[in-house]
Structures are given as C-alpha cells and as structure tokens.
C-alpha cells in the first residue's frame, strides 16, 4: 500500500529526535485522531541548521515527518516556508488517498515551528500565518494518489 | 524464522484446509450438475448438500432442517435481522443489540433504524460484557428481536449466551447470535442455549470464503431474503454453491472434532502471551475479558504508540496481525469496540490483535514477544506523547 520511499522513511526515519533549546518548536494534530507531530528547528542566520521530529502516528505520518525534515534542512526560512504537503508527497512518490492528511500535518507542524521561531525572536516571516489551534479536522484531499 | 510468515490473524480469515479442498474439488469439474435437476448424476449433489447440512447441524446441536446455507456470515446476519424485522412487524418494531457488534449487525440495525425501527444498543462493561439486568429491563412489548454476538471478533470476550437465551425465552423475544468467531472454537448447543437464530461463516474455520449458514429454529418465521427458485425450502433462492457448501460442512466437522484439544492448546498460548507481554512491556494492557474469552484471541493496547505503525513493523519482521487503529480500518475513528469498553481514543489507536490458529506454536509466540518489545520501544522513542508523559513523571 505504501511506496518504497515511504517504507524507507518509515523504517529508517531521518532526523528523528529532539533539539534541546530549539529555536522553534511546533506541535500539531491530536491524539484523538491518532496522529501528533512535533518539529524542532535550529535556525542560524536565517538558515535551518538542524531539524528533528517526533511523531505519534501511522506509517505515513512517520514517513512524511521524516521527509519534511529532510526537505527543510539547510534551507533558508523562506524556502522552508514553501515546503508544502504537496512537495512532501511528491518526494515520497505519493501517498494513499486516506493518508494525504498526514502530509498536511507535516506542513502544519513545520509552519507551527517557524511561527514559534518568529515569535520568540520578534520577527515577521513574510507569508507565514499563525497556526490554528487543534484544527486538524482530517479533511481529505482528493488530488493525489 | 524471519523468512517465513507467522500468521497471527486467524480471526480475519484462515486458509482452506487440504482435506476440505479435496472434498470440494470433485464438485467443480465432475459432479457439476445443478442439484435441482432430475437426472441421476445431479442427484448426488443434492445428497452432498444434505451431508453438509447434517455436519453443520451437528456442530451446533441443531436439527438439519434448521440449517440454511448462505454466502457467509454477513449474509446470515443481514437475513436474520432484516428477516425477523419484517416477519414480526405486526408485533413491534424494537430491536435490542449491543455497542460491540460486528458491522454486519450494527450497520444492518442502523439501516432498519432509518426505516422506522427502534434500536437499543446495550453498553458493555470494561471487559466487554453486557449487563443482564440491563438487557432484561430493555425488553418491552414492542421488542421483536435480541441480537447479541456470541464472542467478539476484536477483543474476544464471550457473552453469557445461555443466560441471554433464558431471558429471551422468558420474555418471549426471538434471540439471534452472530457466532462467526465462536463456531468451531466454543461448545454450542442452540437448543440448550435457547438460541433462535445463529450466524456462522466458513472461512474462519478453515473452510472456503463465500460460505456460511444461518440456523433458524423450527417455528421461527423468517421471510425469504433472496427471491427466485425453490432452493433452501424457498427461503434462500439461487443455485446452491455445492463445492462451497461441501467445504463448509467438512470444515465445521473437522473443527468440532478437534475443538476440545485445540481450544485448550490455544488458550495456553494465549495466556502465556498475555502474561509475558504485560510483564515485559510497560504501559500495556489487555483488552477484553481475562477468562471469558475466545481461546485464540489476544488484544493489547500499548500506550503512546499507534497501531498501524506497529503492524507495519511486525510485518517487516514477518508477523501478520491486526489492529483497531483508525488507520487500519479505513475510517478515521478507532475501533468502536475499544471505545465501547471505555478506552480513550489515543489508547484505542494503539491496539494490537493477535489471533492463533491450529498451526500456531509456542516458538512463534516467543518470537513475537521478542520482537514486540523492540518495536514498542522504537515507536515510543519516536512518540511526542511518550516524551510528554515522561516529562510529567519528572
């Protein structure tokens, strides 16, 4: 049911763990729906120097977290902002329809971490919106297989 | 051991036994005649069906006239519930069931609810048992059917069917039980237990898929579900699935012959696995009743982890099992059974069901215990819920 890439990122997740005194931390999802993602960012001079994740969730949730962290590592904050669920999904060679919400969660976790970083440092990141609280409503996205 | 698959999902389905298949095969190519035909070679097929009917009847203490073949457990459930609802409409419109039924019963009841029937869903306690007093007081003048499963497919809890049958008889209400997981695993005597209708399936007991039967007690009115020819005494039309029926009969016969020794053997494996896992894996719990449970069923919840991820990791190590997590059900809610026994959502998401079969061994169980510990540790390392929990402990 999963692509080889998903299985690879699930079995050998990249950047799993946490960063002490991270510059930004974002947690999204809720236990009720069965998935929670937390992303930690270490940002220096506008560059994502390090990134880690922790995820409670299914195989796709773990794989998308892993891929999302890989995609933002070494990028500028502006570039990181443009790592969307679509980009994560494409990098994984697709996800089953019922798992598309997992990739949305990865995007949201990343943005929540960036928001936290911006807030802590009193800066404004252009194009970044404040994450909504607990709004992970499992809207299914039909566009990708 | 890594190379071979360890199959621990016998409640989902079983393989068709060689002896069963051998009985079935001649009815595909040689004795292919339509049992309704007049010529001699087709008549032997009618006899084959009679033999199977007898085998099925014997397994549950019924008379062979009370057995009707269906396409499986789901059809048997649908027929029993919709059929009684229609046949006894004049008496009333109230049906009593439980919150932990299989979807074949639950969704059928929901369908009837949309069509003017009133459904009472009895709650269950934390072990998955209904309260008999609650059942008694739920019965009213308009109650036409009590449908309560014999043994639960997820958590393995076995209801006190005899007591339910007694109450139903006292109150003059028809009692149907979905016994798909129980037939061939637990002793059943439909007459002694006052069961009026009972559903069963072939592929859960080493018979072919697409086969099942409904037992209908003599005297119970049940409208036809399939209309057409006069098969099954006019109550279930359609040319009989002769190879399937033969296979079901043989499979049930074999299962009941081995039942006593097998259930003792599997219950030992079950209790060993439960003891070991609860001992070795912290923050784990057993779901379902400790004693009143199917001999082949184990259901755990592991806190802070999600069931689908657990299943994939087990699969990567060669173990096939199942879970009540939302991600494995295709829906977004975890199992209704786990929620009904009072588990919070996040714990219901982290469930694992192991169901043994005749070929399951202690060696396989030991392998499972060994790999399970590592997998649970690994997934907890990844889990922010576990972090938060440890944080709170500090």
Q: How far is B383 from chain A (nearest CA, A)?
A: 5
Angle, alpha carbons B200-B201-B207 (nearest 5°)? 135
Q: Number of CB pairs < 8 Å for A and B? A: 73
Domain holding A66: CATH number? 3.90.1010.10
- A142 within some domain: no
The predicted pLDDT at position A144 comes to: 35
In chain B, which residues have their Cβ closer than 8 Å to the Cβ of A11? Answer: 316
Question: Is the Cβ–Cβ distance between B338 and B154 less than 8 Å?
Answer: yes
Question: Is the Cβ–Cβ distance between A140 and A122 less than 8 Å?
Answer: no
pLDDT for residue A45 is more than 80: yes
In chain A, which residues have their Cβ closer than 8 Å to the Cβ of B334? Answer: 34
Closest to B217 in 3D by CA, of B183, B245, B176, B164:
B176
Closest to B199 in 3D by CA, of B185, B178, B216, B217:
B178
Mean pLDDT, residues A29-55: 93
- Residues of chain A by 3-state class (helix, strand, coil), percent to 5: 40, 20, 40
Closest to A81 in 3D by CA, of A22, A134, A131:
A131
- Surface-to-core class of residue B62, CB atoms within 10 Å of its CB (0-12 exposed, 13-18 middle, 19+ buried): buried
Question: Is the Cβ–Cβ distance between B242 and B200 less than 8 Å?
Answer: no
In chain B, which residues have their Cβ closer than 8 Å to the Cβ of A36? Answer: 383-385
pLDDT for residue A35 is more than 70: yes
Task: State the total domains in chain A.
Answer: 1
Q: How far is A45 from chain B (nearest CA, A)?
A: 28
Report the residue of A27, A29, A57 to disrupt the B interface, i.e. the one with the largest count of B CBs within 10 Å: A57
Please list the active-site residues of A.
33, 102
For residue A90 the two structure tokens come to: 């494409």
Q: Do A34 and B326 touch (CB under 8 A)?
A: yes
d(CA B57, CA B249): 9
- A145 within some domain: no
Please tell me if residue B162 touches chain A, with a CB cutoff of 8 Å. Answer: no
Please list the active-site residues of B.
327
- A135 within some domain: no
d(CA A23, CA B45): 77
Q: From the list A16, A27, A31, which residue is nearest B382 (CB)?
A: A16
Band of residue A66 on the pLDDT scale cut at 50, 70, 90: very high
- Show pLDDT as tens, one digit a residue, over chain B (394 residues): 445 899 999 999 999 999 999 999 999 999 999 999 999 888 889 999 999 999 999 999 999 999 999 999 999 999 999 999 999 999 999 999 999 999 999 999 999 999 999 999 999 999 999 999 999 999 999 999 999 999 999 999 999 999 999 999 999 999 999 999 999 999 999 999 999 999 999 999 999 999 999 999 999 999 998 999 999 999 999 999 999 999 999 999 999 999 999 999 999 999 999 999 999 999 999 999 999 999 999 999 999 999 999 999 999 999 999 998 766 655 667 899 999 999 999 899 999 999 999 999 999 999 999 999 999 999 999 999 999 999 998 8
Report the residue of B327, B347, B387 to disrupt the A interface, i.e. the one with the largest count of A CBs within 10 Å: B327
- A21 within some domain: yes
Among the residues of A12-136, which ranges form H helices? 59-72, 77-81, 85-91, 100-121
d(CA B275, CA B156): 16
In chain B, which residues have their Cβ closer than 8 Å to the Cβ of A61? Answer: 306, 309
Which domain range does residue A50 map to?
Answer: 4-121
Query: pLDDT by residue (tens digit) across A93-119?
Result: 999 988 888 889 999 999 999 999 999
- A127 within some domain: no
Question: Is the Cβ–Cβ distance between A115 and A26 less than 8 Å?
Answer: yes
Q: How far is A50 from chain B (nearest CA, A)?
A: 17
- A140 within some domain: no
Closest to B319 in 3D by CA, of B365, B263, B270:
B365
Phi, psi of B389 (to 5 degrees): -65, -45
Q: In chain A, whose CA is at the least distance from the CA of B303?
A: A56
Work out whether strand B212-216 and strand B197-201 pair parallel, antiparallel, or are unpaired: antiparallel
For residue B276 the two structure tokens come to: 């070991």
The predicted pLDDT at position B330 comes to: 58
Q: How far is A51 from chain B (nearest CA, A)?
A: 14
Contacting residues for A21 by C-beta, under 8 A, at least 6 apart: none
d(CA B89, CA B84): 8
- A128 within some domain: no
Q: In chain B, whose CA is at the least distance from the CA of A102?
A: B327
The predicted pLDDT at position B329 comes to: 58
Question: Is the Cβ–Cβ distance between B213 and B70 less than 8 Å?
Answer: yes
Q: How far is A38 from chain B (nearest CA, A)?
A: 7
The predicted pLDDT at position A139 comes to: 42
- A131 within some domain: no
- Residues of chain B by 3-state class (helix, strand, coil), percent to 5: 45, 15, 40
Q: Do B385 and A13 touch (CB under 8 A)?
A: no
| β-bridge partners, B68 | B214
Q: In chain B, whose CA is at the least distance from the CA of A101?
A: B332
What is the Cβ-side half-sphere exposure of residue B198, based on CA atoms within 13 angstroms? Answer: 30
In chain B, which residues have their Cβ closer than 8 Å to the Cβ of A16? Answer: 381-382
């Amino acid at each position: 049911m999963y692509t080889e890439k998903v299985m690879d990122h699930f079995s050998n997740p990249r950047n799993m763990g946490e960063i002490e005194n991270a510059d930004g931390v974002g947690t999204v999802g809720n236990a009720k729906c069965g998935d929670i993602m937390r992303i930690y960012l270490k940002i220096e001079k506008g560059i994502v120097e390090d990134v880690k994740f922790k995820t409670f969730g299914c195989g796709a949730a773990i794989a998308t977290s892993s891929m999302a962290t890989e995609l933002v590592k070494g990028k500028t904050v502006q570039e990181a902002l443009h790592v969307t669920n679509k980009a994560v999904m494409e990098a994984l060679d697709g996800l089953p329809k019922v798992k598309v919400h997992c990739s949305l969660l990865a995007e949201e976790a990343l943005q929540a971490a960036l928001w936290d970083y911006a807030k802590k440092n009193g800066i404004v990141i252009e194009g970044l919106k404040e994450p909504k609280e607990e709004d992970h409503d499992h809207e299914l996205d039909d566009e990708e297989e | 051991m890594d190379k071979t698959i360890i199959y621990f999902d016998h409640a989902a389905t079983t393989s068709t036994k060689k002896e069963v298949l051998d009985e079935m095969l001649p009815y595909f190519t040689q004795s292919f005649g339509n049992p309704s035909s007049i010529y001699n070679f087709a008549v032997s097929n009618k006899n084959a069906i009679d033999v199977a009917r007898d085998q099925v009847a014997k397994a549950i203490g019924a008379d062979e006239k009370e057995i009707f073949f269906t396409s499986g457990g789901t059809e048997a459930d649908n027929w029993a519930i919709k059929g009684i609802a229609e046949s006894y409409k004049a008496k009333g419109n109230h049906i009593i069931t439980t919150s932990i039924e299989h979807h074949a019963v639950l969704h059928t009841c929901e369908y009837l609810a949309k069509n003017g029937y009133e459904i009472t869903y009895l709650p269950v306690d934390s072990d998955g048992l209904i309260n008999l007093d609650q059942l008694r007081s739920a019965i009213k003048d308009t109650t036409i059917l009590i449908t309560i499963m014999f043994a639960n497919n997820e958590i393995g809890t076995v209801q006190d069917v005899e007591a339910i049958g007694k109450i139903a008889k006292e109150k003059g209400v028809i009692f149907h039980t979905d016994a798909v997981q129980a037939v061939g695993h637990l002793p059943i005597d439909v007459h002694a237990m006052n069961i009026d209708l009972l559903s069963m399936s072939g592929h859960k007991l080493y018979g072919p898929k697409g086969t099942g039967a409904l037992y209908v007690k003599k005297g119970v009115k049940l409208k036809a579900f399939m209309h057409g020819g006069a098969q099954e005494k006019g109550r279930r039309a359609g040319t009989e699935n002769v190879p399937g029926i033969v296979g079901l009969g043989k499979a049930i016969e074999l299962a009941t012959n081995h039942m006593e020794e097998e259930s003792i053997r599997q219950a030992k494996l079950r209790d060993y696995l439960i003891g070991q896992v609860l001992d070795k894996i912290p923050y784990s719990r057993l779901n379902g009743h400790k004693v009143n449970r199917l001999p082949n069923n184990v259901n755990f919840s592991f806190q802070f982890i999600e069931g689908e991820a657990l299943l994939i990791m087990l699969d990567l190590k060669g173990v096939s099992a199942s879970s009540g997590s939302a991600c494995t059900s295709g829906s977004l809610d975890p199992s209704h059974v786990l929620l009904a026994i009072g588990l919070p959502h996040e714990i219901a998401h982290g469930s694992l069901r192991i169901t043994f079969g005749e070929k399951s061994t202690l060696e396989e169980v030991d392998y499972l215990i060994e790999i399970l510990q590592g997998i649970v540790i690994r997934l907890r390392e990844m889990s922010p819920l576990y972090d938060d929990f440890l944080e709170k402990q500090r």
